[in-house]
Chain A
């Protein structure tokens, strides 16, 4: 009797303000957008055709977002994996400090973090001044309001999630496994690839799911440091909804984004499942 009463407020709030809005987005995606006015209720595929039928949108928005998300995710893993391995070996204060540094970008707001990057990267900024002063190049190079800036920032906010998910699975590994492998003559490299790495695959997958989704749907990062040619799908959704006031088109883009993301994650799950199975069989 008491449990339903306690749960009711939160569940009602979530149904009204999460589930219903999402369903409403799905419904809105079939409506007709009207220039300069609120949309007209309809049942049309126009919004989907407008996006999926345009090779420009497919190449410069959908495929572009997927590519950026893959690149940023891979770099996050390449950086995050060694960091997680290292932090797992530390103890006490050193561990606390390292963890705080890794997690800081998650808690400090994006705008605040972007400020520092702009100071470093803008045309007359630190990096350019330094490079020109020591004679690496003569003219300022464009880092911000460019693809490079978007990728750098996506890695910056994605890497902490990779480290967090990996750290959990690394710390769960029984150290005697690695020790056993070393005792029968495996060097550290071999012990890592045959023991540690396979056991961290589930953690790696969990991290990849979070970070890929974050990167693929990003709109704040390309909005802040992107250029006109960095039309990631999240940014197009933001622009269509808030600047062009085309809610049906923005909604259909969201549906396409969710479906594309689900498809990619399913493919990745399949790949990881195979990878884990292969590892198990190789050991038999």
Chain B
């Protein structure tokens, strides 16, 4: 009997250690960012001064603007494409569905290094190299499979008779779409929009290959910043990104279930 309990105890212990391993750097970053004395731990007080500096730094604010535009553009493009794909895949039967599905999920299967290099080489061939179009396209395609996956889950539960009823009382296809279909799948749609945005907002590998000089997304900017200095302002920016991501995770978990979405 003794041995069994030891096994269960060991399992619990390893899990807690692993959780500590996963969460320790996040915790440290947050502690450093609210500590009045740079890097002297334990914290001697509480301050938002570093956050103020991070959020008023010209470089960071400009990079946030870039990431915001990039994220919104990629999210809208990916979700528009994904919505049409999901309508076709869920509601129609046709040959070659498996192959099409493989193609649509392919951005997830290709290592990011290869995908980014391929786009870089391809756009260089077209004469652009890295640039805003390449960056937006790279991000849109990178997040597309996630949007397809979430929207598929919510469309599969859709009751088609709702749309039929709307048509029967005289609503056209556009009206039906906006007053029936979209509202019914809204939790899936919101999760998809939020997840795509965050994935784009936090992306480093694709951006570092494709971002043009002078249009640097936030993670690339943060990377060049911490290459030279590790001050509390950097920590405050990192903490802001962590907090935003955690809020988004909780929202997605409530709406769609985190596990189904990220797998």
Interface residues of A (CB under 8 A from B): 2-4, 6-7, 9-11, 13-15, 17-22, 24-25, 28, 38, 79-80, 82-83, 85-87, 96, 98-120, 122, 126, 156, 159-160, 164-165, 167-168, 187-189, 213-214, 216-220, 224, 234, 237-238, 241-242, 247, 250-251, 254, 257-258, 261
Contact = CB atoms under 8 A, between A and B. Distances in A.
B223 interface: yes
Contacts of A119: 25, 28-29, 32, 39, 230, 235
A3 to B, nearest CB: 4
Contacts of B24: 116, 120
B203 A109 contact: yes
B114 interface: yes
A187 to B, nearest CB: 7
A25 B114 contact: yes
Contact of B238 (A99, A116, A188): A116
A257 B112 CA distance: 12
B23 interface: yes
A87 B246 CA distance: 20
Contacts, number: 255
Given A25-B117, A82-B14, A120-B28, A99 B259 contact: yes
Contact of B226 (A11, A38, A114): A114
Given A14-B104, A104-B246, A109-B219, A242 B209 contact: yes
Interface string B12-41: 101100110111111111001000000101
Contacts of B14: 79, 82-83, 86
17 contacts: A7-B85, A10-B81, A10-B82, A18-B103, A79-B14, A85-B11, A101-B19, A102-B19, A103-B249, A104-B245, A107-B198, A119-B25, A119-B235, A188-B4, A220-B205, A241-B209, A251-B117
Contacts of B104: 10-11, 14
A258 B114 contact: yes
Q: Which of A38, A118, A159 has the most chain B CB atoms inside 10 A of its CB?
A: A118
A115 B226 contact: yes
A217 B113 contact: yes
A7 B81 CA distance: 8
Interface in B133-174: 137-138, 140-141, 144
A220 B208 contact: yes
A111 B209 contact: no
B55 interface: no
Contacts of A101: 19, 22-23
B121 A111 contact: no
B21 A22 contact: no
Contacts of B92: 2-3
Contact of A107 (B21, B208, B245): B245
B29 A115 contact: yes
Q: Which of A4, A104, A119 has the most chain B CB atoms inside 10 A of its CB?
A: A119
Contacts of A107: 198-199, 202, 245, 248-249, 262
Interface residues of B, number: 87
Interface of B: 3-4, 7, 10-12, 14-15, 18-19, 21-29, 32, 39, 41, 80-82, 84-85, 87-89, 91-92, 94, 100, 103-104, 106-107, 110-115, 117-122, 124-125, 137-138, 140-141, 144, 198-199, 201-205, 208-209, 219-220, 222-223, 226, 230, 234-235, 238, 241-242, 245-246, 248-250, 253, 258-259, 262-263
A118 B140 CA distance: 31
Identify whether the interface residues of B are mostly helix, strand, loop, or mixed: helix
A213 B109 CA distance: 9
Contacts of A109: 201-204, 219, 241, 245
Given A104-B22, A126-B28, A214-B111, 11 more contacts: A10-B82, A10-B85, A11-B100, A17-B141, A28-B125, A80-B18, A100-B249, A109-B203, A167-B259, A168-B263, A220-B208
Nearest to B115: A18
Nearest to B130: A242
B118 A22 contact: yes
B117 A220 contact: no
Contact of A188 (B7, B141, B258): B7
B262 A112 contact: no
Q: Which of B23, B110, B223 has the most chain A CB atoms inside 10 A of its CB?
A: B223
Q: Which of B84, B219, B235 has the most chain A CB atoms inside 10 A of its CB?
A: B84
A237 B262 contact: no
Given A25-B117, A104-B22, A219-B113, A86 B238 contact: no
B103 A14 contact: yes
Nearest to A1: B92
Contacts of B241: 108-109, 112
A247 B209 CA distance: 13
A67 to B, nearest CB: 18
A18 B258 contact: no
A105 B230 contact: no
Contacts of A216: 111
Nearest to B13: A82
